[in-house]
Amino acid sequence: MGLLNGLLRAGEGRELRDLSKFAAQVEQLDEVTASLSDEELREETTRLRALIAGGATLDSVAVEAFAAVREAAHRTLGMKAYPVQIMGGYALHRGRIADIKTGEGKSLVATLPAYLGALSGDGVHVVTVNDYLASYQADLMKRVFAALGMTTGVITSELSPTQRQRQYACDVTYGTSTQFGFDYLRDNMVSRSADRVQRGHGFAVVDEVDSILIDEARTPLLISGPASGPVSPWFRTFALLVERMRRGTHYEVDEKKRTAGLLEPGIDLVEDELGAENLYDASSAHLVGLLNNAVKAKELFTRDKDYVVARGAVDIVDQNTGRILTGRRYNDGLHQAIEAKEGVEIKPENQTMATITLQNYFKLYTRLSGMTGTAESEAAEFMGTYGIRVVPIPTNRPKQRIDQSDLIYLTERAKFEAVADDIEERHRTGQPVLVGTTSVEKSERLGRMLTERGVRHHVLNAKNHEREAAIVAMAGAKGAVTVATNMAGRGTDIMLGGNTEFMAHSVLEKRGLDPIRDAAEYESAWDELLAEAKAWVRAEREEVDALGGLYVIGTERHDSRRIDNQLRGRSGRQGDPGESRFYLSLEDDIARMFGGGGTVQAIMARSGLGEDVPLTGRLISRTIERAQSDAESRNTETRKNVLKYDDVLTKQRARIYEERRRVLDESDLSEHVHAFRERIVRTAVRAAVGRQPMEDVDLPELWNVLGSVFPLSITPQEMLEEVGGAENLTEKRLADELTSDAKLAYGRLESALGDGGMRQLERAALLASIDKHWREHLYEMDYLKEGIGLRAIAQKDPLVEYAREAKLMFDAMVEGIWEDVVASIFRSGRSRASAQAQEAAVMSTQLGRKVEVPGAVAALLTQVQTMVPVGA
């Protein structure tokens, strides 16, 4: 890994020099852009777009574009990009991941390449980690883009499809990775081209790129719908039953691999309770999966850590950000098992309708870049998965934060007591404190301890995430104590004394002013409010500086050192003073699950120290680091595994989505249907003939097979008489005759419905069949993946077996689509033609004409009778 990282960093110095030269060129235009009037600055966009339209490249206008954005931000926000911010912006334009430390102004950095990319007219997506941050950044930065004559959109969960279309039509669109990914999936489920909301995937800038492309990449995006059938009563039965079972006696659990399995005493207990002879008998084998889910729900999924219960529902908590994953549910009956465990309403199990991993979604973009403060440790994975290099961007000012060594306690109770003591002492002096926890339950536990001690504080977790911005923005004020679940990707800067931009923006928001709609009033009020906020914060900041800046406490090591560094990075922004320390215990998940606890516990036992006395030292720190390294390796393998299996599905998804887009976009699909019809006939004939002589072919059975798809006007006997007996019949002649017969039947149907009606029917049949078979295929692929690991027992590579089986299943699905399309066209066409004929007959009666059916209608009814497939 060290060698690989060394190779990846080769040429890093040369690239930084190039970025620095570019920043100097932008700064040289400072006086020129500053001399432009507001109107002239806005016209720069028109001029640069004309150059691009005339054949100029984005690189050739990059210096002028960056200079224009820098001046627009200075005029609207009072921010002028530092040289290092310009360097970061240009690295993003070049398709790099810019390692920009926390507090260095990444939100402003993103505007530079976003503006340049939007000059092409294709639209740029700026990806953030949550809806609030997307809205906040869009509201703030659209003032910059508006000053340059560009539009800004934002995608949030509550928007309708029509509203989403308008937001995607903007030059720059902000949103979360899940919103962008789900919109892509939904766009490939629409029934009309006009209903698509996205307009392509040109250039994306991903904020907190490691959180989105690394941490969140372990879980694919899924669009699900309720599966058919009632909710099984076994969920509640097993939830009650496993409460009586004991770990290690009735079942075993592997927390590292997140698996659980029944032991013999557990199987015996269940069989006795159910009155079953053999739980693994074919008649009851389906219960084993439900039972295993009940055990997993009990042992591996913890309330207020993995999920919360609110308003009578189980909501999943994002383990990387501590936020609620709105609308997300665990698959394969696991969510129902948790609902049964918690005693809330059990909702129907979901069936996957569309799915994609974040890795493969972001690979759709022509250009992809990102930024974060902790990317260097994941440089190898970024290169291997996405083909993107990491470039470390220097800080604007040297770091002054002091990172203290870890303190390790024997028990979790002793650790939290020590944390509370430390917070109380710091709070007494007025120093702001930020505390990071790993779960909702632990944040609330520490909150109760602080309340008992009379320490005023804010708790930020999945239960009150709507107050996130207000809490985080003021976490650097004097005397502030903030207890937060997972600070990774919170986005809002913690500024000593308070966040002045947030304060000014909040006041204007409360007044109901929009930066675009009420631009003049907003602009006139902004400068005054910002000046007031800065004056107030300046005095506070001086006191906080003297107290040592923001003090960050980590109450537990995460399973990734990078996330720990993100928490630490909240202190010491822009050269501010600061301090950080982690408090650990041997009962922490990382020590308990990955073996660090036993080693350290032995050291503490030999020392003879009590549980309230901490240990420090390089040996202990190395032990914890090894535990984290093991956890990181596990998570890396999980992500690789998810991607490997999804790569198989991605090729199939691309073919299906491409075919679906063609169905929506082409005006005449008759040639495709004709090809389907011919393939069906020739495939059926080939299967019927095989290697046997023509005299032995079962023609009546072949007629039954094809007759279930479309009506045949010729009988087997007529076919034989026409060619002069079975000895004169060949496979080609048989296929040609049946193909011609099918074409005639299709022609009769088209005459009955008319050209417009037939084209409409073909499109509807193709869409319905593709969607139906694709949903069924996804379900079968889920089932295949669930059990494919067992192939390893037979010394077979599960991935190779999965790819082979998946291809066979996909080929079978495609054949099923062909047959289903042709059959459904004839069935629906017969119904439509019959309805038209009956309507015409009724109309003739109502108009007072003769009761007998007119000739044209009679002919139509006759055609309908000949359209009925055999056995329909």
**Sequence ranges of the binding site for ATP:** 85, 103-107, 493
- For residue 313, give the H/E element and its range: strand 313-316
Residue ranges in 284-349 assigned as alpha helix (H):
286-299, 334-342
Sign of the alpha-carbon torsion through 622, 626, 627, 629: positive
For 177, how many CA atoms within 13 A lie in the half-sphere containing its CB? 32
Gap between the Cα atoms of 466 and 446, Å rounded: 20
Between β-strands 251-254 and 259-262, what pairing exists: parallel, antiparallel or unpaired? antiparallel
- For residue 316, give the H/E element and its range: strand 313-316
Q: At 10, phi and psi to the nearest 5? A: -65, 135
Between β-strands 251-254 and 172-176, what pairing exists: parallel, antiparallel or unpaired? unpaired
As a whole number of angstroms, the longest Cα–Cα distance in the chain is 110
Contacting residues for 601 by C-beta, under 8 A, at least 6 apart: 410, 586
Structure tokens at 135: 């809205």
Closest by CA to 198, choosing from 175, 216, 217, 220, is 175
For 796, how many CA atoms within 13 A lie in the half-sphere containing its CB? 13
Please give the annotated binding residues, written as ranges. Answer: 85, 103-107, 493
Q: At 343, phi and psi to the nearest 5? A: 75, 25
Structure tokens at 376: 């260097």
Contact call for residues 371 and 209 (beta carbons, < 8 A)? yes
Closest by CA to 36, choosing from 171, 148, 153, is 148
Gap between the Cα atoms of 741 and 541, Å rounded: 87
Output the DSSP codes for 104-137.
S-HHHHHHHHHHHHHTTSS-EEEEESSHHHHHHH
Contact call for residues 580 and 554 (beta carbons, < 8 A)? yes
Gap between the Cα atoms of 767 and 193, Å rounded: 12
Residues 70-94, buried b or exposed e (16+ Cβ, 10 A)?
A: bbbbbbbbebebbbbbbbbbbbbbb
Sign of the alpha-carbon torsion through 156, 160, 164, 166: negative
Q: At 646, phi and psi to the nearest 5? A: -70, -25
Sign of the alpha-carbon torsion through 643, 649, 651, 655: negative
Between β-strands 367-372 and 203-207, what pairing exists: parallel, antiparallel or unpaired? parallel
Please give the single-letter amino acid code of residue 326. Answer: T
Closest by CA to 825, choosing from 627, 616, 652, 673, is 673
Gap between the Cα atoms of 477 and 475, Å rounded: 6
Contact call for residues 487 and 436 (beta carbons, < 8 A)? yes
Please give the single-letter amino acid code of residue 52. Answer: I
Between β-strands 307-310 and 313-316, what pairing exists: parallel, antiparallel or unpaired? antiparallel
Gap between the Cα atoms of 768 and 821, Å rounded: 8
Contacting residues for 357 by C-beta, under 8 A, at least 6 apart: 217, 220, 221, 642, 643, 646
Sign of the alpha-carbon torsion through 46, 47, 48, 52: positive
- For residue 847, give the H/E element and its range: none
Contact call for residues 558 and 588 (beta carbons, < 8 A)? no
Closest by CA to 580, choosing from 399, 427, 443, 401, is 401
- For residue 760, give the H/E element and its range: helix 731-787
